[in-house]
Amino acid sequence: RGVYPEELNEDLARAVGRAFVTLTGAASIAIGHDMRPSSVPMAAALTDGVRRIHEILKRSLDHASGIRARAAG
């Protein structure tokens, strides 16, 4: 629990999304929220953090695959 936006905000939610995927390796997660007006932007920021780290991880894997293919060829 915390006070929005002083203690909890979108930047923190984005960081939590990135950290969760990084630490757990989750391929997908379910994100829900309640009726508070702050819930919508917080859920959107959390989703953004998850998507950003998935994109970074995908690019890293694609890059590593290209390196392995060139080394094997």
Read off the pLDDT of residues 21-42 as tens digits, 9 standing for 90 and up.
999 999 999 999 999 999 999 9
Q: Is 25 left (phi over 0), alpha (psi -120 to 50) or beta?
A: left
The whole-number pLDDT of residue 62 equals: 80
Whose CA is closest to 31, among 45, 19, 11, 12?
45
Predicted TM-score of the model (pTM)? 0.82
C-alpha 45/C-alpha 56 separation (Å) is: 17
Average of per-residue pLDDT across 46-73: 82
State what percent of residues in the chain have pLDDT above 90. 73
